[in-house]
Amino acid sequence: TSDTGKGYTLRVKLTDPSGKPAGTSMEYSLDDFRSGFGGEQVVPEIKIGKVQLWDDEHPNLYQIRVLLIDDKNQIVDEQSVITGIRKLLWSAENGIQINGRMVKLRGGCIHHDNGILGACAPYAAELRKAQILKRAGFNAIRSAHNPISKAMLAACDMLGLYIMDETFDQWKCSKLDYD
C-alpha cells in the first residue's frame, strides 16, 4: 500500500521443455497489483499455443520465471518454478484419466529417508531413489506419513512419477498429546 513499488514492473516468462520461449510474456506495473488489493484481483495469465503435456511417459516440464524490474530496467528479484501441464479427469466409470488416457497407479509407499544418509535429502540421492523406482516399474509413489522433500518432488517431476504427497499419518486419533 506504500509508494515503494512505484516504477517497478513484474515480468512473467515461460519456457518450454526445450528451453525456448513459450506463450506470451506478460508485464504488469506494480500499480496494477496495488489497485487490485481494494477490489478486483489482478492475475497474470500466459497463453500457450501447442502445449507439451506432462505424464508418466512424457515428463515435459516448463519453467515459469517471475522477474521484478526496477525503473532502470534492472532485475531486483527473481523467482523460478518448474512445472508440468496436464489435464486430469476422474470418474467411477473410468478411474483416473491423465491427458485423456486412463492411468493405473503402480507404486508403493516410501519414507523420507536415504539409508545411511538418514533424513538428509540431497537431490542426487532423491534422484537415484526415483530412478530405481521408475526402473522397477513404478509410475507412482505415496510419501508415507510425512510430506516428501522438494528434491524428491523435483526428481519425480523430471522422471514422470505421480505423487500422493501425504501430510499426516493420523486423522481421527493421535499418537501423542497435541498431535
Residue written as grid cell 505415496: 142
The answer to whether residue 37 scores a pLDDT higher than 70 is: no
Question: What secondary structure letter does DSSP report for 59?
Answer: B
Convert the pLDDT of each residue in 102-142 to its tens digit.
Answer: 999 999 999 888 888 888 899 999 999 999 999 999 999 99
Region 78-82: mean pLDDT is 94
Question: What secondary structure letter does DSSP report for 163?
Answer: E
What is the bridge-based pairing of β-strands 162-165 and 101-102? Answer: unpaired
Compute how many other C-beta atoms are within 10 angstroms of the C-beta atom of residue 80. Answer: 11
CA 84 – CA 8 distance, rounded (Å): 29
For 44-70, b where at least 16 C-beta lie within 10 A, e where not — what string? eeeeeeeeeebbbeebbbbebeebbbe
Q: What order of strands is seen across the sheet that includes strand 62-69?
A: 26-29, 9-15, 62-69, 75-83
Partners of 68 in the β-ladder? 10, 77
pLDDT at position 167, please? Answer: 78
